[in-house]
Structure 1
Amino acid sequence: MYSPLLFFIVLYGIFLTSSYAGWSNLNSTPRKTIQYEDNHVITFKEDGIWNYSTMLIMEDLGLLVLGAREAVYALGMNDISVAKSKVLWKVTEEKQKECTSKGKHPDIDCRNYVQLLHQMNDSVMYVCGTNAFSPTCDYITYSDGQLKLEGKQEDGRGKCPFDPFQRSSSVMVDQDLYSATSLNFLGSEPVLLRTSPVTLRTVFKSSWLNEPRFVYMDVVPESEDSPEGDDDKVYMFFSENAVEYDFYNKLVVSRVARVCKGDMGGLRTLQRKWTSFLKARLDCSVPEPSLPYVIQDVFHVRHKKWRKSVFYAIFTSQSSSTDQSSAVCAFNATDISEVFSRGKFKTEVSVEMSDVKWVTYNGELPVPRPGACINNAARTMGIERSLDLPDKTLQFIRDRPLMDDAVRPITGKPLLLKRGPLLTRLVVDLVTASDGQSYPVMFAGTENGYVQKAVNYDGEMHVIEEIKLLQNTEPIDVLRLHQNQLYAGSASGIVQMPVSNCSRYSSCLDCVLARDPYCAWDATAQRCSRSPEDAKGNLIQSLKEGDATRCPTTATVEPKIHSLVLGNNIRLLCRVDSNLAQVNWNFAGKPLPYSNRKYTIYSDGILISNASAADAGRYTCTSVERAKGRQYTQTLAVYDLREQLPVDVTDKIKTTLGILPESYTTSSGLHKTEEPPSYATNQSSENKWIVIQVALAVISVMMACLLIWNLYMGHISPFMCCGRQPIKSPRNLPEREYMHTGNDVVDSKQQMVRLCVTTNSNVEATSFHRNTVNGDTSTDIHIFKYITDESEI
């Protein structure tokens, strides 16, 4: 017998496989990767304070109010590095002991985590914290540059979670607080609550909320320009265990729910309960067969006309596979409203061999329509408030709050697919480019501290760059966007950075191929401009096509001379502007053979191993980047590799013998203090062996010269071993005979000196040669007598 879960996955896979051709352009690689060291951000954190996860922007005061663990800060929006004011909100010792006695950790759970910050008026904020598993709310005022906790504490149950690590959401609408969290210590009683003069909440039934994880809430002003006289709606996004699928294991699905702003509950049925609560499944289908992706975060891009408003949402895989992935889908507010106002309902039916099944309800609907807000049609029936709704309508919505239809994304598929570290938070900025069109630029935080900046051009996802925002590898817990500034909060601190840094694009080609709506190449100023709509020069920008043909021809790259030391490993650098570019290396005008083990390719260059004379020549590094079928080639680096001996053998020998080269002796005879030439430190053992061999050869020549010298002077006779008499040396001859044979002696000496010239100084050899040529041998004889004096040996 086959599992229903398996059947569902198979059907899901068949549907996706049929449309797989359009998915490949969604999973994009970031064009640039900016590391933390290269990204000059503004940071704020304070020793001993953690979990900077709640933000409130007070635009009129120019403040970013930051909620953390047991502290609230007022930061300047232009520069968050220094807090303007701070207020501590710690738990009492009594509360901490009570929390610890219930089995919670005293230093982790039993603290006050600020989870909710909302602006009540110009200078008053409503704040709630977990308060050691005893949720409490209060008011904070800002006046004269100082924050002040009013001390008017209120019960925070239903407004703020007990557990600091449990997701919740809330929104303030006309001084009424809408909150989605848990009502009890165990977190097992979820609720959507409105705190107002008429307090309303959800029914505690699994058909309403089944172990939900709340993500986001916001209001949509659907009463504006409504021909039906409709009411404003509050939308809530969350995930929960599905009740409509009969699986052996729990299946988590993503939902969107809504309630009417003017809801006052029922008169008898659903007293002080929502009469307008409806929920529907959110569909963000991915190409490969898998379980439904689970919603993680939502950002509402508001429009002057609410029907054009869009909700962008992050979804992540729920499988236990190590190959995790994320997706971003966009949902139109009109499509969501249509599902609730005209879609079919699901209903429970009893089936044999099963407890309950959820199927499509095809019966007749009560009038007014269940879950609908009070509109003109209801008013014509004398129904002015939800308290006037008939019990038949209320009983229907009490038992059947789930819609049969799912909400599909605008494009029918995700805008972005990402594998690897999961996406956590999302904000979207509408940017007007130089072509006059507006483009939604997404900033998505990740679980390892990066932010991905991406935009979708007519179904093509283009990830402009990924930026390492946090120094530590930790998740981004909150993202806010305001006036071209991005604020990111995490457990250890908060970071501020501009939405774009056009100076990163060093050339026209780099600027245009970035396809960044914030940036365009100013041909007059010869730079990439941050505000293309305000620039006065000739702008070059092509977002959808990535057409850089208008860019001027780049200047020729001058070659750099690089020394080739035999046997060394040589690294040639070539830094590429884009991760999307392919790097090509040419040697002597031909492509470098990458298959050769001699060459090792790196992201920023190549390594030539054990260089030889054959490796000398010209190396050229080029990048090839493609955009919309066009190919752009750019020369990045040129090197002329010239051969150089590993060691200057002559200088090495002279230094060994204590004789300095002429280049190190001045005319006055003083030695220069210049440093000898520096060579590569990583010489191979073969080079060292050559030096040793040369030294041994020099010593052998010196020994041979010494032997010839002694043979000539008669100190050693070649016939000693044969018992013959030694030939008399010139030293044993009378002085007259000696002088008579002087020419022969000089000739022999001259030959010997020539043989041993490497063992004497240049000065001595020159002097000896000059005297023999002039026929003057007195100096030479004197030298011989001095050398052959046995008393000096």
Structure 2
Amino acid sequence: MHPLLSLCVLWLLPLALMLEENVPLGCVPRKSVHYDGDHAHLFHEEGVFNYSTMLLREDLDLLVLGAREAVYALDLKDISKKLASVKWEVTDQKKTECRNKGKDSELDCKNYIRILHKMKDDRMYVCGTHAFDPVCDYMSYADGKLTLEKKGEDGKGKCPFDPFQRYASIMVDDALYSATSMNFLGSEPVLMRSSPSAIRTEFKSSWLNEPTFVSMAQMPESEKSEDGDDDKIYLFFSETAVECDCYNKLVVSRVSRVCKGDLGGQRTLQKKWTSFLKARMDCPVLESQLPFIIQDTYRWCDPQQPWKDCLFYAIFTPQTGTLDVSAVCAYLMSDISRVFAEGKYKTPVPVETSFVKWVMYSGDVPVPRPGACINNEARKMHINQTLDLPDRTLQFIKDKPLMDQAIQPIGQKPLLVRRGATFTRIIVDQVRAADGEKHRVMFIGTEEGTLLKALNHNGEMFIIEEIELFQPPKPIKILKISNLTGQLYAGSDYGAVQVSLATCERSSSCMDCVLARDPYCGWDKVTGKCIVLSSSQRELIQSVKDGDASHCPNADPVKAMNHTVWQGGNLRLSCPLPSNLAKTSWELDNRPLKSSSRLEVQQDGLLILNASVSDAGLYRCLSVERSKSNQYKTTVAVYQVRIAPLDTDPTALPSTLTDGHYIPSLQALVVLLALCFVALLAWNFYKGHLPLPWKCGKKNGDQSQEAHEDRGLNSHTVYQDALRPALAEDKPLVLGTGSSNNNHTGEAASFSAAGGNDGPKINLPSPQYVRDESEI
């Protein structure tokens, strides 16, 4: 390693450790699971990229996966098994048109599958960017085959032109709701319903101002509604704030909503939304001066609870690159609905300067309320559809779609704030624990291709584990959960991967299983294993709330390993911790071991320097981990260390003896030297410095015959087989200096004895053995 680099590493290491110590406990994953390609279910097809669109077809046991110019039908239980596929490529003419518009023919001018939705007749609606000319089609799966109907519907407003532009879509009763751009340049953002009657937003900055769309969700607000309300479609996005009186552009997070039965206005807002309203979403993080920006949401609803109790989980990241912090905030559906139903509006007010200032509207609000769906109160006024709304109401909503009040998260703070890899996607699952209580587990994808499994209980965030899903790291672009299989599916540019929601097998002991606080897992005392809760009828040991491992049976004793070290030598005792939240504690002969200049306690081991007789004894490494209930100690490793005097006969010592080195290190060094020797030998064979073994017999015969025929050669030099072992009295190798090694050939090592009068010529450019120093 370069000396300067070494100094940099040594200088940065204390800083990194200091930062790690300052990170809150709840932000450190209890376990870090490295990528395991042998046991992961991974799907990737050579030459195909961007696996970022998924559709779960649990009715067909399929995961339908959309990629670049291809759609795949994969086995839901093992996605590495491809059941069917269909190619949807762009014609050469389309590629040429795309390239002529200034786009990259190999990157942009492809067909990226962006929309996959199931329809009522079991067909699938699929759309692709199609070389910056979006096209939609219908697709079916039957008899083990995927088939495109090739109807070629216009995809403008449904699917983005740009394959790398954020978008959102949802299918409700065979009507596609989409949020994307209407034109090639991406300058006309739109929230649109394509059928049965097309309707969209206005092209006004007060409606959508340079937005980045994130996700969409439907809320069945008409179910058991006392006032005859309509279902609504919610859109989450970020945009440049029109209401901000700032010198620079400020980006804020938004949620907007429209009514499912909206048909537009009769004269004002024809074929435009009459119910489009939007509000700001706040996720206060570390008293940041600039608001964090929404990146993804997930709607979670308990089927046994009313829709007002639904939650929206959202991830936020900074809008500047100075912070490497991500956050998760949760919003109650009733809070969002209340802002739209009862909140104040903002209105633009011209001021003396050239800009427009947005302030809270304090005037009279028209009736029916602007932006409200058609309900029983409107029907009493003989307004049965949006076409019947008065122009005063429509003009109000056309000019003032922005609400004054911002929507705050539950508890007025994030559920999770974490420094490190940027969050990209989130999905939530609910599981019933052994105590009968339901817990919501969050699965969060990151830019580095890792998956966080996190639990929030009574305001406390606990990260169970962080798993590497892709190697090399690729940002996670989509997450899906199947409750039928108990599996999670993640997509990236490189491929798609499948992991189990329950990873109980990673805990090898009862204490490790219980301290994980994983609601999916419990310790079975009968089988002595950490198993999935739903797979057992027996009572399992589990403590999700507190991590109480006091009910665990005593663990089996750990067998001691013998180590012997020379007096004055060095020895390292390993102690791999079962958890990132645990710390090591060492004992010597059942007494606490104190660290000193010769006994260095490390995070995963103990280093004994300049060993003396007093260092002999029984070393015990303990893992100490604190949960909410108590502090628990577990024996990880036991070592019996003996000190060998310097005058001890080496043959009488155990094979574990080390003198300032470790046996594994010596073995690794020997293997490394052997590999270097083989590589050097092969290089010499390749360059001709040494003859090949199968040519040795012939060459030696020829040389022997020449030696008998020509006695003019130097009798002090004896040429033997180039591969013979060197004798003890052999002198060091002599290298020829007449020419560069790059010019050596196999023939250069042989004699030039053509039988002429010039006499024999001897060339020694390659290594040869010399018997006498006078020859040098």
How far apart in 2 are the matches of 1:683 and 1:551?
39
CA shift in 2, pair 1:563/1:597, >3 Å: closer
Match of 2:194 in 1: 195
Runs (5+) with no aligned partner, structure 2: 1-21, 663-776
Counterpart of 2:461, as a letter, is M
How far apart in 1 are the matches of 2:121 and 2:444?
31
Q: Offset of 1:260 from its aligned partner?
A: 0.2
Contact 1:646 1:683 in 2 (8 A): no
CA shift in 2, pair 1:390/1:581, >3 Å: same
1:467-506 maps to which residues of 2 (within 5 A)? 467-483=467-483, 484-506=486-508
How far apart in 1 are the matches of 2:385 and 2:202?
20
How far apart in 2 are the matches of 1:516 and 1:88?
41
1:532-681 maps to which residues of 2 (within 5 A)? 533-594=534-595, 596=597, 599=600, 601-602=602-603, 604-644=604-644, 649=649, 680=658
Secondary structure of 1:272's match? coil
1:489-528 maps to which residues of 2 (within 5 A)? 489-528=491-530
Contact 1:297 1:424 in 2 (8 A): yes
1:164-243 maps to which residues of 2 (within 5 A)? 164-243=163-242
Contact 2:599 2:606 in 1 (8 A): no
Contact 1:26 1:415 in 2 (8 A): no
Q: Offset of 1:618 from its aligned partner?
A: 2.3
Match of 1:91 in 2: 90
Question: Is residue 288 from structure 1 mapped to residue 275 from structure 2 by the alignment?
Answer: no
Contact 1:129 1:136 in 2 (8 A): yes
Q: Offset of 1:149 from its aligned partner?
A: 1.3
Secondary structure of 2:159's match? coil
- Taking structure 1 as the reference length, the TM-score comes to 0.78
Secondary structure of 1:411's match? helix
Greater Cα shift, 111-120 or 555-564: 555-564
Contact 2:563 2:656 in 1 (8 A): no
Secondary structure of 1:37's match? coil
How far apart in 2 are the matches of 1:560 and 1:287?
49
1:95-121 per-position Cα deviation (integer Å, ceiling 9, x unaligned): 111111121111111111101111123
Contact 2:562 2:656 in 1 (8 A): no
Match of 2:441 in 1: 441
Secondary structure of 2:270's match? coil
Q: Report which of the two has the higher share of helix.
A: 1
How far apart in 1 are the matches of 2:510 and 2:413?
34
RMSD over aligned CA atoms reads 2.1
Greater Cα shift, 641-650 or 144-153: 641-650
Secondary structure of 1:366's match? coil
Secondary structure of 1:642's match? strand
How far apart in 1 are the matches of 2:179 and 2:194?
11
Match of 2:127 in 1: 128
Question: Is residue 28 from structure 1 mapped to residue 30 from structure 2 by the alignment?
Answer: no
Q: Offset of 1:573 from its aligned partner?
A: 1.4
CA shift in 2, pair 1:678/1:228, >3 Å: closer
Secondary structure of 2:59's match? helix
Q: Offset of 1:347 from its aligned partner?
A: 0.6
What is the number of residues matched between the two proteins?
Answer: 637
1:130-529 maps to which residues of 2 (within 5 A)? 130-304=129-303, 305-321=306-322, 323-483=323-483, 484-529=486-531
1:181-205 per-position Cα deviation (integer Å, ceiling 9, x unaligned): 0011111110001001311010011
Q: Offset of 1:491 from its aligned partner?
A: 0.5
CA shift in 2, pair 1:595/1:371, >3 Å: farther
Q: Offset of 1:472 from its aligned partner?
A: 1.4
Secondary structure of 2:355's match? strand
Contact 1:85 1:145 in 2 (8 A): yes
Secondary structure of 1:57's match? strand
Contact 1:191 1:202 in 2 (8 A): yes
CA shift in 2, pair 1:613/1:192, >3 Å: same
Counterpart of 2:50, as a letter, is N
How far apart in 1 are the matches of 2:661 and 2:231?
78
Contact 1:162 1:185 in 2 (8 A): yes
Q: Offset of 1:644 from its aligned partner?
A: 3.0
Q: Offset of 1:545 from its aligned partner?
A: 1.7
Counterpart of 1:605, as a letter, is G
Secondary structure of 1:340's match? helix
Q: Offset of 1:467 from its aligned partner?
A: 0.8
Match of 1:712 in 2: none
Q: Offset of 1:429 from its aligned partner?
A: 0.3
How far apart in 1 are the matches of 2:655 and 2:30?
43
How far apart in 1 are the matches of 2:393 and 2:94?
45
Secondary structure of 1:61's match? coil
Counterpart of 1:480, as a letter, is K
Counterpart of 1:56, as a letter, is L
1:626-658 per-position Cα deviation (integer Å, ceiling 9, x unaligned): 11251111221111111235786586xxxxxxx
Secondary structure of 2:36's match? helix
Contact 1:141 1:148 in 2 (8 A): yes
Q: Offset of 1:524 from its aligned partner?
A: 2.7
Contact 1:523 1:537 in 2 (8 A): no
Contact 2:343 2:403 in 1 (8 A): yes
Contact 1:646 1:679 in 2 (8 A): no
Greater Cα shift, 177-186 or 30-39: 30-39
CA shift in 2, pair 1:470/1:683, >3 Å: closer
How far apart in 1 are the matches of 2:570 and 2:109?
59
1:14-63 per-position Cα deviation (integer Å, ceiling 9, x unaligned): xxxxxxxxx99685211111111388321110000000000001111111
Counterpart of 1:393, as a letter, is T
Contact 1:51 1:492 in 2 (8 A): yes
Q: Offset of 1:512 from its aligned partner?
A: 1.1
How far apart in 2 are the matches of 1:448 and 1:610?
42
Q: Offset of 1:595 from its aligned partner?
A: 5.3
Q: Offset of 1:288 from its aligned partner?
A: 3.1
How far apart in 2 are the matches of 1:514 and 1:677?
39
CA shift in 2, pair 1:392/1:510, >3 Å: same
Q: Offset of 1:411 from its aligned partner?
A: 2.5
CA shift in 2, pair 1:75/1:609, >3 Å: same
How far apart in 2 are the matches of 1:296 and 1:462?
22
CA shift in 2, pair 1:599/1:26, >3 Å: closer
Match of 1:660 in 2: none
How far apart in 2 are the matches of 1:36 and 1:108?
29
How far apart in 2 are the matches of 1:363 and 1:436?
52
Secondary structure of 1:94's match? helix
Secondary structure of 1:337's match? helix
Counterpart of 1:512, as a letter, is V
Q: Offset of 1:596 from its aligned partner?
A: 2.3
Question: Is residue 66 from structure 1 mapped to residue 68 from structure 2 by the alignment?
Answer: no
Q: Offset of 1:431 from its aligned partner?
A: 0.5
Greater Cα shift, 373-382 or 194-203: 194-203
Counterpart of 2:424, as a letter, is T
Counterpart of 2:268, as a letter, is T
How far apart in 2 are the matches of 1:361 and 1:242?
17
1:656-685 per-position Cα deviation (integer Å, ceiling 9, x unaligned): xxxxxxx9xxxxxxxxxxx9968548659x
Secondary structure of 2:639's match? strand
Counterpart of 2:416, as a letter, is L
Counterpart of 1:205, as a letter, is K
How far apart in 2 are the matches of 1:534 and 1:43?
25
Q: Offset of 1:549 from its aligned partner?
A: 1.4
How far apart in 1 are the matches of 2:590 and 2:143?
71
1:211-266 per-position Cα deviation (integer Å, ceiling 9, x unaligned): 10001011100000100100000000001111111111111111000000000000
Match of 1:100 in 2: 99
